[in-house]
Amino acid sequence: MLLPFVALVLVFAMSYAPLLGWSYAFVGYTLDANLANLRFSVQALAAQLTPVEADAFEHKGTGSFASDKYFRKVYNVNKYPHHGGYMKQTLDLLKFSAKIGRADCARAESVRLSCGRDEMMRFCWDAPNPVDWPDAKYLVCDVTGDRDWSQVFIFEFWDREGGHDAVYPDLTVRMSVLPKVKTRLCLPLRALDAQSIFLPRTRGQLRSFITGSAVARDRIETFAIGMREGPAEQGITVEGLYLTDELPDFPLPDVKLVDSLGQNKLKDWAGKTHSEREMVDALRAEFAAVTDSGAAAATAAATAAVARPGAAAAPREAHS
């Protein structure tokens, strides 16, 4: 009884084996096609990301960029495991030199940069030892301006195969910062491909602007930090310049730059309102002045009409 059953199973297997093989092949082909489409979609999405988003995408896979704080969600990769290890290279500020402007109180971890009115400041890296640009993803430093207007901090890069112009770098990144507030600046090194003009804002950092041509990280000949020209003499303190492959935190002092009336607390000027009572008194005085001037003008017009009655009758005569 068992032998006929085994023979039947063998006949069935030999008859339908090709069909089963084609089915498996079809399923495999379909899976491969779907995976290929998925890869294409991911690549298309990555091509549309900004440098900052691309860095976060690399860390987080398909993490969401819709967030309560857009930039923090994009940048906050500390909640996710980082692959590849942590890298940090601190850059000794004593190995920089001032090419334009002045550098005072220089130490390994901090320096004060300054320049005159309508002048820029350039503090250039002069050390012969290499910088780990290819291994890094961010260039980070803390800056504190000394003016009551928004100063512009700059990063400048020269490519080994670029224009070789000592005055004009191949690529410049400008970052505006809040006045007199210690601010952490973070430059995503993906931005050196010059595919983006603006970078997302961080806490304390205002608008950023990129100009120039692409600079390959493995071909950086030298770089500089400094300040853009301003309307008056200015200075800025730089602390803790370093390269890293981990996105830093963005601390910001708990200070108020605007008062209850929406005015700049850091500046004083003629006509500035210093209290709510002063504002109320000024508005009442202005209203009284307008009211009095209007009443005076009406009284003067009526008095003139009474004093010259013929002037009011003349138009009627002319009209008739």
Question: Does 256 score more than 70 pLDDT?
Answer: yes
Q: Check residue 285 and give its pLDDT.
A: 86
Question: 181, 203, 199, 178: which is closest to 190 by C-alpha?
Answer: 199
Cβ-based neighbours of 28, under 8 Å, separated by 6 or more: none
pLDDT digits (tens, 9 = 90+) for 209-234: 999 999 999 999 999 999 999 999 99
Note the Cα 276 to chain centre separation in Å: 35
Task: Give the chain's length.
Answer: 320
Q: Check residue 267 and give its pLDDT.
A: 82
Q: Which residue did the predictor score with more confidence, 136 or 293?
A: 136
Q: How far is CA 264 from CA 86, 176, 179, in A?
A: 41, 17, 10
Write down the mean pLDDT value for the chain.
77
Q: Kindly write down the DSSP assignment for every residue of 220-285, as one continuous string.
A: EEEEEEEE---SS-EEEEEEEEEEESSPPP--------B-TTS-BTT---TT---SHHHHHHHHHH
pLDDT digits (tens, 9 = 90+) for 109-124: 999 999 999 999 999 9
Task: Record the pTM.
Answer: 0.64
Q: What percent of the chain has pLDDT over 70?
A: 66
pLDDT digits (tens, 9 = 90+) for 60-81: 433 333 333 444 444 444 333 3
Q: Which residue did the predictor score with more confidence, 11 or 248?
A: 248
Distance of alpha carbon 233 from alpha carbon 4, whole angstroms: 103
Question: Does 291 score more than 70 pLDDT?
Answer: yes
